[in-house]
């Protein structure tokens, strides 16, 4: 899989999402910013991301996925602090 393919999958799965993806082969890092995460715990946010790409994890196309998840408001604050 390519980072662009993962980015496309995540954009389809989240409303008004800003998605950044980097990686090669089967190891990827993603940042998803979406208000779909509003009110969710960190674990629930990660579970939502895994749901979007689970088929590719099961097939082995994605072996490792590191993620950062934010609402738009959380990202606004985090980016000011240069987190992520």
Provide the CATH number for the domain around residue 43. Answer: 3.30.300.90
* Total domains, the chain: 1
34 compared with 82, residue with greater pLDDT: 34
Note the pLDDT of residue 3.
93
> Would residue 81 count as lying in a domain?
no
Do residues 36 and 15 make contact, with C-beta atoms less than 8 angstroms apart? yes
> Would residue 84 count as lying in a domain?
no
Question: Which residues fall within 8 angstroms of residue 55, CB to CB, at 6 or more apart?
Answer: none
> Would residue 26 count as lying in a domain?
yes
> Would residue 59 count as lying in a domain?
yes
3-state secondary structure of 38: coil
> Would residue 82 count as lying in a domain?
no
* Range(s) of the domain holding residue 15: 3-76
What is the model's pTM? 0.89
Q: Can you name the residues that pair with 9 across neighbouring β-strands?
A: none
> Would residue 83 count as lying in a domain?
no
Query: Residue 24 CB: number of other CB atoms within 10 A?
Result: 9
> Would residue 7 count as lying in a domain?
yes
CA 22 to CA 38: how far, in whole Å? Answer: 24
Does the pLDDT at position 83 exceed 70?
A: no
């Amino acid at each position: 899989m390519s980072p662009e393919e993962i980015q496309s999958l995540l954009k389809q799965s989240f409303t008004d999402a800003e998605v950044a993806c980097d990686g090669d082969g089967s190891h990827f890092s993603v940042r998803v910013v979406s208000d779909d995460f509003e009110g969710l715990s960190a674990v629930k946010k990660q579970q939502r991301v895994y749901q979007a790409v689970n088929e590719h994890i099961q097939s082995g196309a994605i072996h490792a996925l590191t993620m950062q998840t934010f609402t738009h408001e959380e990202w606004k604050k985090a980016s000011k602090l240069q987190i992520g």
